[in-house]
Amino acid sequence: MPSQGRTTADRRAAILDAAMALADERGLDAVTMRAVAERVGVTPMALYPHVGDKQALLDGLLGRLLAEIALPDPAAPWRDRLVALAHGLRATGQRHPAVFPLLLARPSVTTGALRVVEAIYAALREAGVPDPQVPRVERLLSTFVIGYLASQANGRFGPGSSAPRQRRTQVPADELPVHHALAPHLDLEVDWDAEFDADLDDMLRMVSAIAARGPAGGPVS
Amino acid sequence: MPSQGRTTADRRAAILDAAMALADERGLDAVTMRAVAERVGVTPMALYPHVGDKQALLDGLLGRLLAEIALPDPAAPWRDRLVALAHGLRATGQRHPAVFPLLLARPSVTTGALRVVEAIYAALREAGVPDPQVPRVERLLSTFVIGYLASQANGRFGPGSSAPRQRRTQVPADELPVHHALAPHLDLEVDWDAEFDADLDDMLRMVSAIAARGPAGGPVS
DNA sequence: ACCTGAACACCGTTCAAGT
DNA sequence: ACCTGAACACCGTTCAAGT
C-alpha cells in the first residue's frame, strides 16, 4: 500500500498538503485553485469534487491546523494544561503564520476545534470557574490567545524597535505627552514570546480570581 | 465652497467615502478598484494618484475607522475612560463590520491609532500600572478588545443557539464529556454585547491587580 | 496634472465533453 | 466516477495616449 493518492480521502489529503505547503512557503495569496492544482499535477477543476470551492478549501486548511494542536497531559494541574495549550497554539501559529489568522475570521465549529475547547472547559472547571461562566471564560481566553498570535503573525505589533521611534518623532511631542513620558519603555526591542507568557500569566491569575469570586455573578445572559 | 471634490484632498476623501460605503453595504469583497471607481464616476486608473494601490486604499479605510473612535472625557476616572473607549470601539466595529477585522491584520502605526493608544496609556498610568508594563498591558487590552469585536463581526462565535446544539449531537457524547456536562449552559442564546461587558469587567479587574502588584516584576523583555 | 482606453496577466467557477 | 479544455465574468495594475 503505497502513499499514492488512490482513494478519495487520499486525494483530498494530497490537495490540502499542497495548499498548506503553498500557504507556508508563499503566503495565503499564493493559495489559488490554479496553483494548488498545478502542485498536485491536475487541472483546477479536478479539485472541486474533493475539497469543494475556494472557501471550503481554506476551511480545510483550518481543520488541518487545528488538528495539529497538541493536547496537554490530562494529569497535569489545570494551570499547566492551559499554558501547554497556549504554547501549542503558538507553535502551530508559528508553523503556519499565513493560515492561523483565519481562526478569527471563521466560526470554529469543526470537530478539530472541539477537542481543544473541550480541554479548556475541563481545565476551567478544575480551576473552580462556575459552570455558567465556563463558556464565556473559554471564549475570553481563546479570543485573546488567537488575537495575540494572529497579531504576531500579521506583524501588527510593529517591526520591533524601529517603528515606535519614528512614530513618536513624526508627531509633535506635545500632542502625545504620555507617549513622550513613556519613551524609555517604547524604544526597547520587545521579545514577543516573553510578552505572550507574561500576558498568559496575567490571564490565568484572572481565571483564579473569577473562580475565587464564585457563582455570585451567575451567567452573563 | 461647495462640497464638490475639486482639490486633491477632497478627491481622496470622496474615494474613501465610496469605498467605505461599498464595504458597509456589500462587504469587503465588493471593494474593488473598479467598483469604487464606478461609484465615484471615474475610471479605475484615476484612483491611483489619490489613494495608491489596493492595499493603500484599505489602509485608508482603516484610518477612517480609527478616526471615528470617540475619545473619552479626560476628567473621568480611568476605569470609566477605558470602558468608554471599549464601547467606542464596539460602536465603530458595528458600524463597519467588514473593515474592522483588518485592525488585527495591519500594523497600527497610523496617527489615528496613536490618539487611541495615548488615551489608553494615560488611563493605565492613572490606574497605577508601572510604566515599564504600560505598553504591554495596552497591547493585552487592545488585542482582546479588537479580537473580540472582530470575532463578533466575523460571526466566529457562531450563529447563537442553533450551532452549539448540533455541534454536540454530531459527536458521540462520550467523546466530549465536559461539553456534555456543560450542556445546560451551551444551549442558551448569548447576548454578545453583555458578554463583552462582563469580559471587560474581568480585564479591568486584572489591570487593578497588575497595578496592585507594583513594579516588582519589572518589564517583560 | 489629471484622466482615459486598451491591454496584460491573472482570478474562481460553469459547462459540455471525454474516458 | 473522475478529469479535461474551453470559456465566462471578473480581478489589480502597466502603459501610452489624450487634454
pLDDT tens, position by position, B25-55: 999 999 999 999 999 999 999 999 999 999 9
The Cα–Cα gap between B12 and A216 comes to: 53
Q: For A55-75, how does the pLDDT look when each residue is reduced to its tens digit (9 = 90+)?
A: 999 999 999 999 999 999 999
Name residue B142's amino acid. S
Is residue B69 within 8 Å of residue B92, measured between CB atoms?
Answer: yes
Q: Which nucleotide is nearest to B56 (CA to C1')?
A: D12
Question: Helix, strand or coil for residue A31?
Answer: coil
Q: Cell 495565503 sits at which residue?
A: A28
User: Cell triple for residue B211?
Assistant: 497595578
Residue A192 pLDDT more than 90? Answer: yes
From the list B109, B179, B191, the residue facing A221 with the nearest CB is B191
- Check if B190 contacts A (Cβ < 8 Å): yes
Q: Specify the pLDDT at position A217.
A: 55
Q: For B94-105, how does the pLDDT look when each residue is reduced to its tens digit (9 = 90+)?
A: 999 999 999 999
Q: Which nucleotide is nearest to A54 (CA to C1')?
A: C12
Q: Specify the pLDDT at position A188.
A: 87
Q: Which nucleotide is nearest to B47 (CA to C1')?
A: C3
For B156-160, what is the mean pLDDT?
A: 72
Footprint of strand C on the protein (CB under 7 A): A 31-35, 44-45, 48, 53-55; B 8, 11, 42-43, 45-46, 49-50
Residues of A in contact with B117 (CB under 8 A): 179
The Cα–Cα gap between B25 and B111 comes to: 27
Contact between chains at A143 and B144 (C-beta distance less than 8 A): yes
The Cα–Cα gap between B119 and B125 comes to: 10
Q: From the candidates A134, A142, A144, A186, which should be mutated to test the interface with B, based on the most B CB atoms within 10 A?
A: A144
Nearest to B121 by CA among A176, A57, A76, A164: A176
Q: Specify the pLDDT at position B112.
A: 83
The Cα–Cα gap between B186 and A131 comes to: 10
Is residue A160 within 8 Å of residue A147, measured between CB atoms?
Answer: no
- Check if B216 contacts A (Cβ < 8 Å): no
pTM of the model: 0.93
Q: Specify the pLDDT at position B148.
A: 98
Mean pLDDT of chain B: 90
Q: For B49-92, how does the pLDDT look when each residue is reduced to its tens digit (9 = 90+)?
A: 999 999 999 999 999 999 999 999 999 999 999 999 999 999 99
Question: Helix, strand or coil for residue A74?
Answer: coil
- Check if A54 contacts B (Cβ < 8 Å): no
Mean pLDDT of chain A: 90
> At A167, phi and psi to the nearest 5?
-60, -50
Contact between chains at A108 and B156 (C-beta distance less than 8 A): yes
- DSSP single-letter state for residue B175: G
Confidence of residue A131 (pLDDT cuts 50, 70, 90): very high
Is residue B50 within 8 Å of residue B121, measured between CB atoms?
Answer: no
Q: Specify the pLDDT at position B5.
A: 43
Is residue B202 within 8 Å of residue A206, measured between CB atoms?
Answer: yes
The Cα–Cα gap between A75 and B214 comes to: 34
The CA–C1' separation of A27 and C17, in angstroms, is 35
Confidence of residue A3 (pLDDT cuts 50, 70, 90): very low
Is residue A106 within 8 Å of residue B154, measured between CB atoms?
Answer: yes
Q: For A12-28, how does the pLDDT look when each residue is reduced to its tens digit (9 = 90+)?
A: 999 999 999 999 999 99
Q: Specify the pLDDT at position B169.
A: 61
The CA–C1' separation of A54 and D14, in angstroms, is 28
Report the length, in residues, of chain A.
221
Confidence of residue B1 (pLDDT cuts 50, 70, 90): very low
The Cα–Cα gap between A84 and B55 comes to: 37
Q: Specify the pLDDT at position B114.
A: 92
Element at A163 (helix H, strand E) = helix A162-169
Q: Specify the pLDDT at position A110.
A: 75
Please provide the distance, in angstroms rounded to a whole number, between the alpha carbons at the two ends of chain A.
54
Report the length, in residues, of chain B.
221
The Cα–Cα gap between A5 and A11 comes to: 5
The interface residues of chain B toward chain A in range 157-176, judged by CB-CB distance below 8 A, are 157-159, 163, 167, 170-171, 176
Q: Specify the pLDDT at position B164.
A: 58
Mind telling me how many Å the CA of A4 is from chain B's nearest CA? 30
- Check if B210 contacts A (Cβ < 8 Å): yes
Separation of CA B182 from chain center: 30
Confidence of residue B159 (pLDDT cuts 50, 70, 90): low
Residue A206's region, left for phi above 0, alpha for psi from -120 to 50, else beta, is alpha
Q: For A136-177, how does the pLDDT look when each residue is reduced to its tens digit (9 = 90+)?
A: 999 999 999 999 999 999 999 975 444 555 665 666 777 899
- DSSP single-letter state for residue A159: S
Is residue A99 within 8 Å of residue A153, measured between CB atoms?
Answer: no
For A45-53, what is the mean pLDDT?
A: 96
Q: Cell 467523546 sits at which residue?
A: B175
Asked if strand D comes closer than 7 Å to B47 Cβ, the answer is no
Asked if strand D comes closer than 7 Å to B34 Cβ, the answer is yes
Q: From the candidates A54, A178, A193, which should be mutated to test the interface with B, based on the most B CB atoms within 10 A?
A: A178
Nearest to B100 by CA among B129, B132, B72, B61: B61
The CA–C1' separation of A118 and D6, in angstroms, is 49
Q: For A69-96, how does the pLDDT look when each residue is reduced to its tens digit (9 = 90+)?
A: 999 999 999 999 999 999 999 999 999 9
User: Cell triple for residue B4?
Assistant: 464638490
Nearest to B22 by CA among B6, B35, B4, B3: B35
